[in-house]
Structure 1
Amino acid sequence: MPFMVRDDVEIFYEVLGTDGPWLTLVNGHTRSSRDFRLLAGNLSKQGVRCLLFDNRGAGETKNSPHFTLDDIAEDILQLWDELGIDRSIVMGLSMGGIVSQILTHKAEGRVQGLILVSTASSESSLSSAAFTPWGQTEDSVFQKLQAYFTEGFLQRNKLLVQAMAKQILQSITADHFEERAHHQRQAMRGVDTRTFLGSLHLPTLIIHGTDDRIIPVSAGEELAKLIPGAQLKKLPDVGHLVLAEYSKNLTQDVLEFLKSNGWL
């Protein structure tokens, strides 16, 4: 497996696709790059090179417990240097969306475009459900997971959500999942990007479910007001985990954004 070593950190990453514009995918709280494989696989077939990686505190990446979202943004910049990526479109989900905003502020000249999904400008926009522990039983994990989906999706896909709960519980018992989740929660404390969003001048697409119970759609609306020229797409009857509830259409939305800006 490919790793990039930076100071005391080993960042797991992989690349899908061999040509076309770069798209860097930044995942949310506790989630690994595996979530992106279906999306990245579809996009790579359409001429997009996708960079996937595990944030500090998630997946196969190995790191010390104390870090900030700025550190994750710096990890991305070093990955780009390592792989010879001069410029990339950046797509961030939830916590990854906040990281993407920080990254763009740090190196706007290297970010071609920004896709922000189910995210916000500050920690204060997150509901209390985002910060509650997962617990130590399958039932407690399942109960927490319910906040991430709409009721309709839960009813139609109960077996899928139960399988996710089992996977998370296995990680809790074997991979220090809750401890690493706590480190990510600490990295989010006090973060607020509103001070610089007005200075970002690049094509931006914001995607947000109207029934998001983790980060309310009002946070996406605020981002659209603060980032000059940002386009907001609200998804009716979709919750926080857009990759699960909106997967069939998300690939098309990303491709349309890239095509409309002349990158494809």
Structure 2
Amino acid sequence: MIEWKLPGSCLFDGRTVRYGVTGHGPPVVAVHGTPWSSFNLRHIIKALSRDFTVYYYDLIGYGQSDKSPGDVSLGIQNPVLDYLLDCWQLDNPSIIGHDFGGTTVLRTHLINGRDFDRIVLIDPVALAPWGSPFFQHVREHEAAFAGVPDYIHEAIVRAYIKTAAFTPIDDAILDSIVLPWTGPDGKAAFYRQIAQAHSGYTDAVQALYAEISRPVLILWGREDTWIPLERGEALRDMIPGSSLHVIPDAGHLVIEEQPDQLVEKIRPFIQHAGTPSRA
């Protein structure tokens, strides 16, 4: 097990959001996806903190943040991010989003009108249709899944997580990914966030991608079986001036598999923050 603690906290509508801030320099915000937490962004956070002040947090319903019954959908995640940006007193930081984190970034920019100097999207859930057969099955039978014995639940989570990676996941890392989804609260939260996932949240912004004028860098694991590379190519074509870089030997969990390659692309892109040129 790898220790990961978020020292900061704030309340959003009475629900605790845990966060961390590290490093010195221009601000960068990192947003994780599902079924992940800020733990999975730790390599990127550490590397970028040498030159930037990195703000990171666990989405509502994930990781160390509040997992009580309630809304944990993509519909609430952009208001949470909007609120955190005010708490951190950030006007237009660079921002990085993986998976649902990329969706949250896009929705916060396009729905809440938050400005970001540079936007980095890593294998984002951005284009419909999306949602695996497993997602669809859980949505239809959330209560049944939430009622399975703990040992079966943990086996389900482990098996599901493994499908996100192209290369085998280290046991200690896998244990740390699974941990927030264990126990009564974590178990219910795992199925709750899947049950509340719906492509309507991307439908609401997909038509607006052509209006994005900020520099956008899209990074994609070549072997991503959750969201194939073709979606990344389509997204690049929809966002004017955006660039797409493919990361070899990595699946959807590229943030764990090839973090160094990601940082090699992200660092020079966000170092140009404040200038009008695109990567």
TM-score by length of 1: 0.86
Distance in 2, matches of 1:183 and 1:26, equals 20
For 1:172 and 1:67, how far apart are their aligned partners in 2?
A: 14
Give the unaligned 5+ runs of structure 2.
Answer: 1-6, 139-144
> Which stretch shows the higher mean deviation, 132-141 or 171-180?
132-141
Q: Secondary structure at the match of 2:233?
A: helix
**Root mean square deviation, CA, Å:** 2.4
Q: d(CA) in 2 for partners of 1:214 and 1:175? A: 27
Pair 1:170–1:17, CA change in 2 (3 A):
closer
Q: Which amino acid aligns with 2:120?
A: I
One-letter code aligned to 1:113 = R
1:51 equivalent in alignment to 2:63: no
Matched, 1:39 2:44: yes
In structure 1, stretches of 5+ residues that fail to align are: none
Q: What is the match of residue 3 of structure 2?
A: none
What SS does the aligned partner of 1:112 have? coil
Q: Pick from 171, 189, 214: which aligns with 1:202? A: 214
Quick one: percent identity of the two aligned structures? 22
Could you say which residue in structure 2 is the equivalent of 1:174?
A: 183
Match of 1:146 in 2: 162
Work out whether 1:76 is the aligned partner of 2:76.
no
How far does the alpha carbon of each residue in 1:183-220 deviate from its partner, in whole angstroms, 9 at most, with x for none? 32244312223121111111000001121011111111
Residues 34 and 127 (structure 1), Cα distance of their counterparts in 2 relative to 1, 3 Å cut: same
Quote the Cα distance in structure 2 between the aligned partners of 1:23 and 1:94.
17
**1:54-80 Cα shifts (integer Å, max 9, x gaps):** 101101211542243232111112111
SS in 1 for 2:70: coil
**Structure 1 residues 163, 104: closer, same or farther in 2, change over 3 A?**
same
CA contact (8 A) 1:108 1:200 kept: no
The structure-2 alpha-carbon separation of the partners of 1:259 and 1:124, relative to structure 1 and needing over 3 Å to count, comes to same
CA positional deviation for 1:236: 2.6
C-alpha contact 2:117 2:274 (8 A) present in aligned 1: no
> Is 1:92 aligned with 2:97?
yes
Taking structure 1 as reference, are residues 235 and 129 closer, same or farther at Cα in structure 2, changes over 3 Å only?
farther
Once the 2 structures are TM-superposed, how far is the Cα of residue 109 of structure 1 from its aligned partner? 5.3
TM-score by length of 2: 0.81
Is residue 8–residue 64 contact of structure 1 (8 Å, CA) maintained in 2?
no
Q: Give the equivalent residue in structure 2 for 1:120.
A: 125
Tell me how far apart the structure 1 counterparts of residues 174 and 135 of structure 2 sit (CA, whole Å): 16
Task: After TM superposition, list the pairs within 5 Å mapping 1:177-188 onto structure 2.
Answer: 177-188=186-197
Count of aligned pairs between the two proteins: 254
Q: Equivalents in 2 of 1:45, 1:132: separation in Å?
A: 43
Paired residue type of 1:59: G
What residue is the counterpart of 2:141 in the other structure?
Answer: none
Residue type of the partner of 1:2? G
Structure 2 Cα separation of the partners of residues 170 and 262 of structure 1: 39
User: Which residue does 1:21 correspond to in 2?
Assistant: 26
Shift of 1:106: 2.8
Q: Is the 8 A contact 2:121 2:219 kept in 1?
A: yes
Q: Is the 8 A contact 1:16 1:51 kept in 2?
A: yes
Give the aligned residue type for 1:178.
Answer: K
What is the identity, as a one-letter code, of the residue corresponding to 2:223?
D
How far apart in 1 are the matches of 2:57 and 2:179?
A: 21
Contact (CA 8 Å) 1:12, 1:61: kept in 2 or not? yes
Residue aligning to 2:260? 248
Q: Which residue of 1 aligns with 2:251?
A: 239
